[in-house]
Amino acid sequence: MDLVRTENLKVRFPLRGRAPFAPKKYVEAVNDVSIAIPRGQTYGLVGESGCGKSTLANALLGLQKPTSGHVYFDGQCLDTADRETFRALRRRMQMVFQDPFSALNPRFTVEKILQEPMKIRGGMTESEMRERVLDLLGMVGLSGEDLPRYPTDFSGGQRQRICIARAIALRPDFLVCDEPVSALDVSVHAQILNLLMDLQEQSGMTYLFISHNLAVVRDICADVGVMYLGMLMETGPADAVFSNPLHPYTRFLLSAVLDMNPESSRQPMLLKGEIPSPIDLPQGCAFCTRCPCATEQCRTVRPLLTEAESGHFAACHLLKKQEQG
């Protein structure tokens, strides 16, 4: 069964600072998104900055109330749960943030940082906590000698290890990793990703892995979802999405990745047009203003996610044309 699931999830933010009698406007940060993350697997969420990835993650964690639609965790509806149920579910989820520099209190030692979640939950003796902290440090590749040190004594990669240790301190079932390597040196990306994969193998945790870089999610995710302006444009098994990208936007993201390889003979796909603002979305396909293949239908009718091959969905009118043609 899926551990985490959304059903037609929408989150919108009212725009502030408008004239008192002007019509209200909204940012459609997450627009009708349904995803499912099977237990013990990694779902990769990709898309350009501002497309709603973090807002979707916050809704999954119960930190952001949906405007409409629902979030289910382990079969229970999070957004309608009573306070007690919510808190019990919430305790099973954790998050690793993008910036390990601002995520750690600079005045706390590593020991205090890692003990804090246990102290807040309660029910452990000092020696049990000490033992767990040492275990955690070992799990993330640090040692007992690091206990009295402060965050500023560590490199970015090491700080992210501390953040990961803190996130898994209470053995969560679900871990959201929101761009966990974006702020780090490229040289440590692989180490941190491998650490996350090892921890998942040992514990069976379920991950939502957010990145704006498709290359990063490629190796580590079972399924991926591609977001654009709050909407899911394509989703499916990572193998299928990477070997047979169906949506022109996914192809664009992939060509941007290939672009980094100087030996690639493929021409990168160039995008014309501007990203529309998430306030005034185009009437038809959200991507139509930049899509090299957009037709009149794309500009007027919003395409629905359609299953093209087993478990592989895309929201693109041209998909049907390809099948028919």
The CA–CA distances, whole Å, from 84 to 111, 117, 319 equal: 30, 19, 46
Q: Does 54 bind Mg ion (CB under 5 A)?
A: yes
Query: Least distance to Mg ion from the beta carbon of 244, Å?
Result: 27
- Is 107 exposed, middle or buried, given 0-12, 13-18 or 19+ CB atoms closer than 10 A? exposed
Query: Least distance to ligand ADP from the beta carbon of 207, Å?
Result: 16
Query: Rounded to whole angstroms, how far apart are CA atoms 232 and 203?
Result: 29
Q: Does 284 bind ligand ADP (CB under 6 A)?
A: no
Query: Rounded to whole angstroms, how far apart are CA atoms 112 and 99?
Result: 19
Instruction: Compare residues 181 and 319 and give the one whose CB is closer to ligand ADP.
Output: 181
Q: Which of residues 79-118 bind ligand ADP (CB under 6 A)?
A: none
Pick from 2, 13, 281, 295: which binds ligand ADP (CB under 6 A)? 13
Q: For Cα atoms 160, 166, 168, give the angle at the middle one, nearest 5 degrees.
A: 105
- Binding track over 46-85 against ligand ADP, x by CB under 6 A: -x-xxxxxxx------------------------------
The residues, ordered by sequence, that sit 6+ positions from 214 with a Cβ below 8 Å of its Cβ are 46, 224, 242, 253, 254, 256, 257
Instruction: Compare residues 28 and 223 and give the one whose CB is closer to ligand ADP.
Output: 28
Q: Taking CB within 5 to 8 Å according to partner kind, which of ligand ADP, Mg ion, none is near residue 275?
A: none
* Residue 255 φ then ψ, to 5°: -70, -30
Q: Taking CB within 5 to 8 Å according to partner kind, which of ligand ADP, Mg ion, none is near residue 129?
A: none
The residues, ordered by sequence, that sit 6+ positions from 137 with a Cβ below 8 Å of its Cβ are 110, 114, 143, 144, 146, 147, 165
Q: Taking CB within 5 to 8 Å according to partner kind, which of ligand ADP, Mg ion, none is near residue 51?
A: ligand ADP
Q: Which stretch binds Mg ion (CB under 5 A): 49-57, 194-202, 217-225, 302-310?
A: 49-57
Query: Rounded to whole angstroms, how far apart are CA atoms 316 and 305?
Result: 7
Instruction: Compare residues 47 and 151 and give the one whose CB is closer to ligand ADP.
Output: 47
Q: Which of residues 30-49 bind ligand ADP (CB under 6 A)?
A: 47, 49
**Chain positions contacting ligand ADP, by CB under 6 A:** 13, 27, 29, 47, 49-55, 278
